[in-house]
Amino acid sequence: MDVGFVGLGKMGRGMAASLLRHGHRLSIYNRTPGKGEDLVRAGAKPVTRVGDACQGEVVFTMLADDRALESVVYQDHGILGSLQKSALHISSSTISVALAERLSVDHAELGQRFVSATVFGLPDVAAAGALSVVAAGGPNALDLATPLLESVGKKVFFLPGMPRNANLVKLSGNFLIAAAIEAIGEALALIAKGGIAEDEYLKIITTALFDLPIYKNYGAAIATRKFEPAKFTALLARKDIRLALAAAYELQVALPLCDLLHRRFLTLLANGGENLDWSAIGSLAAKDAGLP
Amino acid sequence: MDVGFVGLGKMGRGMAASLLRHGHRLSIYNRTPGKGEDLVRAGAKPVTRVGDACQGEVVFTMLADDRALESVVYQDHGILGSLQKSALHISSSTISVALAERLSVDHAELGQRFVSATVFGLPDVAAAGALSVVAAGGPNALDLATPLLESVGKKVFFLPGMPRNANLVKLSGNFLIAAAIEAIGEALALIAKGGIAEDEYLKIITTALFDLPIYKNYGAAIATRKFEPAKFTALLARKDIRLALAAAYELQVALPLCDLLHRRFLTLLANGGENLDWSAIGSLAAKDAGLP
Amino acid sequence: MDVGFVGLGKMGRGMAASLLRHGHRLSIYNRTPGKGEDLVRAGAKPVTRVGDACQGEVVFTMLADDRALESVVYQDHGILGSLQKSALHISSSTISVALAERLSVDHAELGQRFVSATVFGLPDVAAAGALSVVAAGGPNALDLATPLLESVGKKVFFLPGMPRNANLVKLSGNFLIAAAIEAIGEALALIAKGGIAEDEYLKIITTALFDLPIYKNYGAAIATRKFEPAKFTALLARKDIRLALAAAYELQVALPLCDLLHRRFLTLLANGGENLDWSAIGSLAAKDAGLP
Amino acid sequence: MDVGFVGLGKMGRGMAASLLRHGHRLSIYNRTPGKGEDLVRAGAKPVTRVGDACQGEVVFTMLADDRALESVVYQDHGILGSLQKSALHISSSTISVALAERLSVDHAELGQRFVSATVFGLPDVAAAGALSVVAAGGPNALDLATPLLESVGKKVFFLPGMPRNANLVKLSGNFLIAAAIEAIGEALALIAKGGIAEDEYLKIITTALFDLPIYKNYGAAIATRKFEPAKFTALLARKDIRLALAAAYELQVALPLCDLLHRRFLTLLANGGENLDWSAIGSLAAKDAGLP
């Protein structure tokens, strides 16, 4: 298929590479040029204007936040203005539920299609084409998207209802991971101050109860205070937690644990931690407890 | 080995049965008589006084809380007064760190040995002899305990340091599980109020991120509001969270998520939920959000 | 002075009446017509377009929220487009710090002046011309504003720095009041469940410790569960707490008590309380405790 | 009246001096000798055993915590063993509701009387005989206590019901003050990071909204980071907040703000602040925000 790909950050590059490996023809665009050289060597065609990535049946976007996505969609000769009728915009960015709703409406008004296809997985998983994809949109749009989503993801989940549902699932998923990080951080602060070795503790807990990479990997990061290089920065994670709270606000749902996570990120950032891995919030309980 | 077993609740019965299956000779005691008939049929010898369960090399205790354990230990002709020199008390109850410390001291003063061997697993796991056991105590005491612990547990973890370390690990482990319940509860409240079906959501989340029985089983309980019959009651869980906070207080560790869990249990109990499964705290976010 | 007044809600009407009593000539505007009949009888001139209220030296705005203020400022023939050079916009609405910053910039670009003059006091206090006013802006602008502010307020406080400072003080002030409401609510839940009469308790506390109308009035409202008619609705208060959190977010300040208040308002609104007085959040601790 | 006074700390000395000034004959006892020399010069008779302070009609106790009070009451030749039938024990210490209940029962069994007469006010207020006293107990006991309470207090409030009610009021009162401290601390962190001078802010807030010594004095302490010498130490305050939570636990009342205060004290103490004034918890929001 002729596919445009907008946004060549760590995640986007991996997804674009997966699409190429599955035989799709790719036009790639990034605001900052020179980001997709590997992809060009693998056959992608670099373009210098967003609109030039919107000439095929489908354009993917994978950008950092609402503002970045709004920019490429709503600018002159942006996605909205360039996409053909019936063509499809697949949005994989972790954006607000509100923006997903607005994009649904705006694309529909122009006869364009829109699918939210959010993804779970770190950059190495994206590079391996092994993401978990959560997709929502109209049935025809999903039919068109499916082979592409299966190229970037090991598993593709289809949700009924509006595209925004996929965004809410993504935000709630990142909330769940951050919640696990906080829980591990508090547990480690408690047992460490009680004199128990953190690594021995984690071995027990992740064998007996939480035999899962999330608990193992983030537990190890917290126990060793190793938060660099970041796989997912605190700055980006803070945004996601904030978007989860924004959705909760609109829906009038009080989420005390999510509020706590938000405060943890604010505190981390206020003390210079924006480029640390998001698991660094798991070190704050120990810090409050006076542990080194 | 000649073993006494004190406390024939759901967990204790399963553990005692496992010991019998492994060929140990058991004297069993329960405050309320008539609780161990299955065990008697399997060869256990019922006794009517705690002290009569303390004539062998080892006595296990598996009781509901500090008060129950203190009673059998410190009563006239209780465990402390009846156990022979060098004999071993294995405490598997989920008790306070403070009581574990006190028992360590009091047994040592009389030349008796003491091991904290806390367990993870619900009653059906105990019945299958497949618990995860976390044991701490002196080296000789642990040597004596090991074959017994391997009879009740699929996995036995040994922790260096004082017996109380095993209690702190147990309390922190239950905290981690309750934290996961709260996180799921908040996530479900959010997506449900956003119009997403809870079962579809859980399927995605427990496949893509949290492929773990804790998330699957408690998620299903919360999504279906099925909290009866309780596998582990809110009343008992509240106690454990409180004991975790008591340990945190002594160690001067502020634990905001643990505080939140404690409040959830207080609210649940204040509204008649003491006999519900502890996963019922996962329904409170939805209730606050005005969901049915 | 020739003054325009935009926004004739409960607060605005009282402020406008105070200006009239002090001899100022008023042009009054409200989106929904027919709101200022008392003012017209007292000499105010009703106008049907925002711009017509911007012909004098000064225009006041007192509106419900950011959106309402943005509408009258940025619409065609709105305040920004109609105000003469050097003329002054006095904004008394409780709006976001971000909007105050934007208005400062936008007015300055057109050579107009801008003062944030936020007010503390309920509608009856506004009607009596006895508000507390917190004003910030350029020195010349404040000079021009002073006689008007002294007409609406019993006390006028001048803050150095940007206009937005007055908005931040206002938001933090409402946070402090809501915090007192929450504290009283928790204290009352505790002593009431302990069997102590709430009115006797309040008499002691507000005599011995908190001899202050805020504690007395809101305490009485909570103790008697009398939240209607609202003097300040939960819906508006929720907005203010949210704006305080939005400012805290931009400044990277974690505010756990403010987060708690925000959740209280969400829970109140999710359960149908949007038109109750904001002190109704003080009843939620009792509700969680199972009190009637 | 012949009165014993047990506990000559900062508060107790002031109360005892007030009793002397009102013409009562005082026998004074302190665990650590040499604490009441001023009182002796003013006519008090020092005794070296608790029981010797229990020979009159009334004995006052004013001690640091449950443990200290339990010690003087339950020791051999302590208060319980020495007080005559019908004689009265007036307990002014800030102790747990549970201990107050136990003392009520134990004194009644011996035909002795018991009044809880808790006090609000710092040491200088105690020295001036100007405390606020909250008293609860049987009618006859209160009649006997009244002239003494009026000697130590400017205002005496009588509560119906069991003596413990006075203890619960005291604990909830300290909770309310700590809540105000936390609120001020968060507000100051917010406006300070926003660039507003803390002293100017406090002047506005304590004039326009919170014209009250609690807000003025603690606000000034937080703004100037002056927490030494402590008028009321964080260590003692932590105890009171913990006792409020213990009462809330027994009554099944979830108190999120009280939990927050408890965590603030734990964090303060874990970082070496036990001898600071309790208002030092008001500096933690600023610290989390990265302010100096």
Distance separating the N- and C-terminal Cα atoms of chain D: 55
Q: Spell out which chain A residues touch chain C, with contact meaning CB-CB distance below 8 angstroms.
A: 242, 248-249, 252-256, 259-260, 262-264, 266-267, 269-270
Query: What angle is formed at CA B288 by the lines to CA D186 and CA B185, rounded to 5 degrees?
Result: 95
* pLDDT value at residue B280: 98
pLDDT band (50, 70, 90) for residue A159: very high
By C-alpha distance, which of A100, B271, A262, B292 is closest to C270? B292
Across the interface, whether the CB atoms of D272 and A288 are under 8 A apart is answered: no
Which residues in chain A touch residue C242, judged by CB atoms under 8 angstroms apart?
A: 249
Identify the closest residue of chain D to C136 by CA–CA distance.
D196
Across the interface, whether the CB atoms of C270 and A253 are under 8 A apart is answered: yes
Which token pair is B200? 């579809």
In whole angstroms, give the CA distance from residue B71 to residue A204. 31
How far apart are the CA of D275 and the nearest CA of chain B, in angstroms? Answer: 15
Q: Which residue's entry shows tokens 């007409």?
A: C151
A3, C190, C205, C286 from C198: Cα distances, Å: 68, 10, 10, 12
In whole angstroms, give the CA distance from residue D266 to residue D276. 13
Complex prediction ipTM: 0.97
The helix-helix angle for C164-193 and C256-270 (nearest 10°) equals: 70
Closest Cβ opposite residue B289 in set C270, C272, C290: C270
Instruction: Confirm if A27 and A3 have CB atoms less than 8 A apart.
Output: yes
* pLDDT value at residue D34: 79
* Residue D208 pLDDT greater than 90, yes or no: yes
The sheet carrying C2-6 orders its strands as C45-46, C25-29, C2-6, C58-61, C88-91, C113-120, C131-137, C153-159
* pLDDT value at residue A33: 81
* pLDDT value at residue A165: 98
HEC-encoded secondary structure of D191-226: HHHCCCCHHHHHHHHHHHCCCCHHHHHHHHHHHCCC
Instruction: Confirm if B227 and B282 have CB atoms less than 8 A apart.
Output: no
Q: What are phi and psi of D291, to 5 degrees?
A: -75, 155
Could you tell me how far CA A106 lies from the centroid of its own chain?
23
C72, D25, D130, D148 from D41: Cα distances, Å: 75, 13, 22, 21
- What is the number of CB-based contacts under 8 A between chain A and chain B? 202
pLDDT band (50, 70, 90) for residue C33: confident
Please confirm whether the linkage preceding B147 is cis (ω < 30° from 0): no
By C-alpha distance, which of A201, D266, D276 is closest to B247? D266
* pLDDT value at residue A83: 97
By C-alpha distance, which of D284, D267, C256 is closest to A291? D267
- Percentage, residues of chain B above pLDDT 90: 97
* Residue D273 pLDDT greater than 90, yes or no: yes
pLDDT band (50, 70, 90) for residue D258: very high
Identify the closest residue of chain A to D260 by CA–CA distance.
A260
Which residues in chain B touch residue C255, judged by CB atoms under 8 angstroms apart?
A: none
Count of helices and strands (H, E) across chain B: 13, 8
Which residues are registered as beta bridge partners of B58?
B3, B88
The DSSP symbol for B58 reads E
- Percentage, residues of chain C above pLDDT 90: 97
Instruction: Confirm if D242 and B248 have CB atoms less than 8 A apart.
Output: no
Q: Partners for B (CB, 8 Å, 3+ pairs)?
A: A, C, D
Instruction: Confirm if D156 and D150 have CB atoms less than 8 A apart.
Output: yes
Closest Cβ opposite residue C288 in set B256, B267, B290: B267
- Percentage, residues of chain A above pLDDT 70: 100
Instruction: Confirm if C160 and D218 have CB atoms less than 8 A apart.
Output: no
Can you list the positions of beta strands (E) in B196-259? none
Residues D122-163 pLDDT 10s: 999 999 999 999 999 999 999 999 999 999 999 999 999 999
Closest Cβ opposite residue D212 in set C155, C207, C211: C211
Closest Cβ opposite residue C168 in set D177, D196, D258: D196
Best residue in C205, C216, C249, C291 for a mutation probing chain D (most D CBs within 10 Å): C205
* pLDDT value at residue D32: 87
Residues whose CB is less than 8 angstroms from the CB of residue A283 and which lie 6 or more positions away in sequence, other chains included = A185, A222, A225, A227
The DSSP symbol for A84 reads P
Residues A94-138 pLDDT 10s: 999 999 999 999 999 999 999 999 999 999 999 999 999 999 999
* pLDDT value at residue A1: 87
- What is the number of CB-based contacts under 8 A between chain B and chain D? 43
Best residue in C239, C242, C243, C249 for a mutation probing chain A (most A CBs within 10 Å): C249
Please confirm whether the linkage preceding A229 is cis (ω < 30° from 0): yes
Q: What are phi and psi of D40, to 5 degrees?
A: -65, -45
* Residue B34 pLDDT greater than 90, yes or no: no
Other Cβ atoms closer than 10 A to C220:
16
Q: Spell out which chain B residues touch chain D, with contact meaning CB-CB distance below 8 angstroms.
A: 242, 248-249, 252-256, 259-260, 262-264, 266-267, 269-270
By C-alpha distance, which of B205, C244, C4, C168 is closest to D194? C168
What is the per-residue DSSP string for D47-107? -SSGGGGGSSSEEEE--SSHHHHHHHHHSTTSHHHHSPTT-EEEE-S---HHHHHHHHHHH
Which residues are registered as beta bridge partners of A133?
A119, A156
By C-alpha distance, which of C77, C80, C85, C119 is closest to C99? C80
How far apart are the CA of C22 and the nearest CA of chain A, in angstroms? Answer: 43
Which residues in chain A touch residue B247, judged by CB atoms under 8 angstroms apart?
A: 190, 194
Per the rule left: phi > 0, alpha: psi between -120 and 50, beta: everything else, D254 is beta
Identify the closest residue of chain C to D160 by CA–CA distance.
C196
Which token pair is D108? 């009644």
Instruction: Confirm if D232 and D277 have CB atoms less than 8 A apart.
Output: yes
Across the interface, whether the CB atoms of B264 and D249 are under 8 A apart is answered: no
The continuous run of DSSP H or E covering D29 comes out as strand D25-29
Residues C114-153 pLDDT 10s: 999 999 999 999 999 999 999 999 999 999 999 999 999 9
* pLDDT value at residue B214: 97
Burial class (CB in 10 A: 0-12, 13-18, 19+), C48: exposed
- What is the number of CB-based contacts under 8 A between chain C and chain D? 201
In whole angstroms, give the CA distance from residue B52 to residue B72. 12
* Residue A56 pLDDT greater than 90, yes or no: yes
* pLDDT value at residue C32: 87
pLDDT band (50, 70, 90) for residue B33: confident
Which residues in chain C touch residue D214, judged by CB atoms under 8 angstroms apart?
A: 209-210
Q: Spell out which chain D residues touch chain A, with contact meaning CB-CB distance below 8 angstroms.
A: 256, 263, 266-267, 270-272, 288-290
The continuous run of DSSP H or E covering A262 comes out as helix A256-270
pTM above 0.90, yes or no: yes
Query: What angle is formed at CA D128 by the lines to CA D126 and CA D132, rounded to 5 degrees?
Result: 50
Average pLDDT, chain C: 97
Which residues in chain C touch residue B255, judged by CB atoms under 8 angstroms apart?
A: none
Q: Spell out which chain C residues touch chain B, with contact meaning CB-CB distance below 8 angstroms.
A: 256, 263, 266-267, 270-272, 288-290
pLDDT band (50, 70, 90) for residue C260: very high
In whole angstroms, give the CA distance from residue A244 to residue A258. 8
pLDDT band (50, 70, 90) for residue D101: very high
Across the interface, whether the CB atoms of A173 and B205 are under 8 A apart is answered: yes
Average pLDDT, chain A: 97
D20-39 average pLDDT score = 92
* Residue B35 pLDDT greater than 90, yes or no: no
In whole angstroms, give the CA distance from residue B161 to residue B138. 8
Identify the closest residue of chain A to B159 by CA–CA distance.
A200
Closest Cβ opposite residue D183 in set C161, C194, C257: C257
Identify the closest residue of chain C to B268 by CA–CA distance.
C288
Across the interface, whether the CB atoms of B252 and D270 are under 8 A apart is answered: yes
Which residues in chain B touch residue A200, judged by CB atoms under 8 angstroms apart?
A: 159-160
Other Cβ atoms closer than 10 A to C1:
16
Across the interface, whether the CB atoms of B172 and A190 are under 8 A apart is answered: yes
Q: Partners for C (CB, 8 Å, 3+ pairs)?
A: A, B, D
Distance separating the N- and C-terminal Cα atoms of chain C: 55
Q: Sign of dihedral through CA atoms D161, D163, D166, D168?
A: negative
Residues C214-223 pLDDT 10s: 999 999 999 9
Which residues in chain C touch residue D166, judged by CB atoms under 8 angstroms apart?
A: none
* pLDDT value at residue C160: 94
Closest Cβ opposite residue A191 in set B172, B197, B204: B172
Q: Sign of dihedral through CA atoms B181, B183, B186, B187?
A: negative
In whole angstroms, give the CA distance from residue C263 to residue B260. 13
**Helix ranges restricted to H, chain C:** 10-21, 37-41, 66-74, 79-82, 97-109, 123-127, 139-152, 164-193, 198-208, 213-223, 234-251, 256-270, 284-288
In whole angstroms, give the CA distance from residue D207 to residue C156. 11
* Residue C34 pLDDT greater than 90, yes or no: no
- What is the number of CB-based contacts under 8 A between chain A and chain C? 43
Which token pair is A217? 């990997």
Closest Cβ opposite residue A288 in set D267, D272, D290: D267
How far apart are the CA of A197 and the nearest CA of chain D, in angstroms? Answer: 20
* pLDDT value at residue D30: 93
SS3 A244: helix
Closest Cβ opposite residue D266 in set B252, B267, B270: B252
Instruction: Confirm if A128 and A121 have CB atoms less than 8 A apart.
Output: no
In whole angstroms, give the CA distance from residue D212 to residue C208. 11
* Residue A276 pLDDT greater than 90, yes or no: yes
* pLDDT value at residue C161: 95
Closest Cβ opposite residue A187 in set B172, B186, B189: B172
Produce one character per residue of A42-60: b if its CB has 16 or more CB atoms within 10 Å, e if not: eebbbbeebbbbbebbbbb
Residues B158-215 pLDDT 10s: 999 999 999 999 999 999 999 999 999 999 999 999 999 999 999 999 999 999 999 9
Which residues in chain C touch residue A270, judged by CB atoms under 8 angstroms apart?
A: 252-254
By C-alpha distance, which of C242, C239, C217, C228 is closest to C275? C228
SS3 B48: coil
Across the interface, whether the CB atoms of D271 and A256 are under 8 A apart is answered: no
Residues B238-274 pLDDT 10s: 999 999 999 999 999 999 999 999 999 999 999 999 9
SS3 B229: coil
Which amino acid, D98? A
* Residue C280 pLDDT greater than 90, yes or no: yes
Query: What angle is formed at CA D135 by the lines to CA D109 and CA D252, rounded to 5 degrees?
Result: 80
Closest Cβ opposite residue A271 in set D266, D267, D290: D290
* pLDDT value at residue D117: 98
Closest Cβ opposite residue B290 in set C263, C271, C289: C271
pLDDT band (50, 70, 90) for residue D64: very high
* Residue B1 pLDDT greater than 90, yes or no: no
